[in-house]
Structure 1
């Protein structure tokens, strides 16, 4: 969906999806519902400015200013909105080479991001480089499967965070890709990688059973799917092997999805997986509707910035 088209009319054409095995009866009967909007980006890679008019693939697209305008219009439509990022904030333009990530974090703070997870390129200036920029981030970093206990990042990254929007309790946890063989050891040092499936099961147990969350989101940087290695851990594999996750927001593979993929979880219930490519070209928008019993229905779309 183009940005201009979105502003003129919202994503009413996006298909409604039943989440968690519940039906649409309450919505069809005209019963009141609560709406929660999730906005998300991934793999922005330090793209602050829009692509130029002569760019061969993405002319006049992207840019933080355009994204800010779009986010503001959506928040005005529904103040019960979360803004999340699935990692690889760093690396890709001279802005990162010169400022080391300071500008990226400051601008995300201006846009009022609520949380982000950590991608492999966010280690490109080492743990010390990431640590040095943390004071500029006025939002939380979350990762459940990176253990930073023996590093300078100890205590700066949470496994999950809970948000309350319009009486709906939303649990968000982070999940990162295996760094060994992908990132130089000297960049992540003693960071310990934990199994994504096991940690996701632990996070959903905590968020669903202990914290009583109504909506559970995994903010992932493990990749959408690997065709040549279908058993390799990815968002689609993680979705199928777990339960109680309502939405996986992905990154790493730069996968452009026009709308979320519907996946059956380990219990056979619907859940959503989404990713919006890279470089800030698109903004993901997913609306969740809760009836009086907190049964969930959703619709999602990718909006060109």
Structure 2
């Protein structure tokens, strides 16, 4: 974020849950789309996000989570929501790749980060799944030799939401996979974020990251936030269990950047709304959590309490 945008996150933030504090840019990778919002508030951008879907199509034994329940949650929202995922959407134990992708299409995902976790069976196997995908695959630090993946995986996506331009990109973890070249995610993201701000004139910049939350790792989602500029929101994945939390961190210019993450397998998803008080500048945001398949507030509170107990035991 630039210095003149220090008001990006004011202390008057509204939260409905606890707040916890590359390669060259390929011009051919440019893409854009428009989100038609039903909201009468044209000074707001709404983003719902997930991470580590792991092939969860059906709900768990408790009757919540999974893509089928998420579709109901999205359909019940009163506003059009930009739906993003931080990667890890396939599960090679279940081997239900086609079904997972088809349900992601039904739910209406707009962009998904491509992670090494989704390439475990090799680039050729993954390339065969491309015709089923209606959503965009993003990565600014992955480069492929496979011609289909070169065309399908975009460095970024500019999405027009109402009158605002939302720039979305992704970074994946390091991996040794034949036909894949991985560049430094921090360097790639900083280059891309600056491009999205200065050349694409984006009002909001979002990064989908699958770097994990290991505090001992040299590069993780939190460290990425600390080492970047221009990025407003990082959606972090690569978790063994996950938490539905939103962190406010400082980037290398000491400006604020948001880092959000949700439970694995769509045990929960999060929704964040950015309000633009004046043209091109977000002054506050609202954050809320969803448990797909549960709409009752009291029941949702009980489930989140149970999830927290599991997190502590892990």
C-alpha contact 2:9 2:256 (8 A) present in aligned 1 = no
Superposition TM-score, scaled by structure 1 size:
0.80
Match of 2:229 in 1: 243
- Rounded to whole Å, the distance in 1 between the matches of 2:270 and 2:54 is 16
- Rounded to whole Å, the distance in 2 between the matches of 1:104 and 1:240 is 33
- Rounded to whole Å, the distance in 2 between the matches of 1:256 and 1:49 is 19
Alignment CA distance shift 1:258-1:190 (3 Å)? closer
- Rounded to whole Å, the distance in 1 between the matches of 2:145 and 2:281 is 38
1:299 maps to which of 286, 296, 307: 286
Please give the per-residue CA displacement for 1:143-193, whole angstroms capped at 9, x wherever unaligned: 00001145652211001000001101000001000013xxxxxxx312100
Superposition TM-score, scaled by structure 2 size:
0.78
Alignment CA distance shift 1:198-1:51 (3 Å)? same
- Rounded to whole Å, the distance in 2 between the matches of 1:27 and 1:90 is 35
Is 1:78 the counterpart of 2:55 in the alignment? no
- Rounded to whole Å, the distance in 2 between the matches of 1:244 and 1:255 is 29
- Rounded to whole Å, the distance in 2 between the matches of 1:150 and 1:129 is 11
1:226 maps to which of 189, 214, 217: 214
Report the number of matched residues: 261
Match of 1:91 in 2: 91
Match of 1:44 in 2: 53
Alignment CA distance shift 1:265-1:255 (3 Å)? farther
- Paired residues for 1:1-305 under 5 Å: 20-22=6-8, 34-52=43-61, 59-74=62-77, 77-79=78-80, 81-91=81-91, 94=94, 96=95, 99=96, 101-149=97-145, 152-180=148-176, 188-223=177-212, 225-229=213-217, 232-254=218-240, 256-296=242-282, 297-305=284-292
- Rounded to whole Å, the distance in 1 between the matches of 2:44 and 2:220 is 29
Gaps of at least 5 residues in structure 2 are 15-40, 293-314
- Rounded to whole Å, the distance in 1 between the matches of 2:11 and 2:52 is 38
Cα RMSD of the aligned pairs, angstroms, is 2.2
Alignment CA distance shift 1:257-1:125 (3 Å)? same
Give 1:242 deviation, angstroms: 1.1
SS in 2 for 1:43: coil
C-alpha contact 1:38 1:285 (8 A) present in aligned 2 = yes
C-alpha contact 1:148 1:192 (8 A) present in aligned 2 = yes
Give 1:47 deviation, angstroms: 1.2
Alignment CA distance shift 1:218-1:23 (3 Å)? closer
C-alpha contact 1:128 1:152 (8 A) present in aligned 2 = no
Alignment CA distance shift 1:119-1:251 (3 Å)? same
C-alpha contact 1:256 1:276 (8 A) present in aligned 2 = yes
C-alpha contact 2:115 2:171 (8 A) present in aligned 1 = no
